[in-house]
């Protein structure tokens, strides 16, 4: 169970100010959420609607091929338009 945003904020402020150490649960949460040197790849979701032009479709396909394992291309083939 993660600490509440208020608990995390006050624990981080106390840690910076040199106060007492946070509880073990909050310390684990702060360690997990701190900035990392190398972060994991983000997953991108590419949406192609029915009004997408051919040039934009090729751009989406190129982006999909560049980000190959970390992207998903979704196609909307329904002709229903709001």
**Residue range 19-67, pLDDT digits in tens:** 677 778 877 887 888 888 887 888 898 888 888 899 999 999 999 999 8
pTM of the model: 0.50
- Cα–Cα distance for residue pair 39/58, rounded to 1 Å: 29
Separation in Å, CA 42 to CA 5, 10, 67: 24, 29, 10
């Amino acid at each position: 169970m993660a600490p509440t945003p208020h608990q995390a904020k006050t624990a981080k402020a106390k840690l910076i100010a040199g106060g007492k150490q946070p509880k073990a649960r909050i310390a684990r949460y702060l360690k997990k959420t701190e900035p990392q040197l190398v972060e994991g790849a983000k997953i991108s979701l590419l949406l192609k609607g029915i009004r997408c032009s051919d040039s934009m479709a090729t751009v989406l396909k190129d982006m999909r091929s560049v980000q190959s394992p970390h992207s998903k291309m979704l196609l909307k083939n329904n002709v229903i338009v709001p």
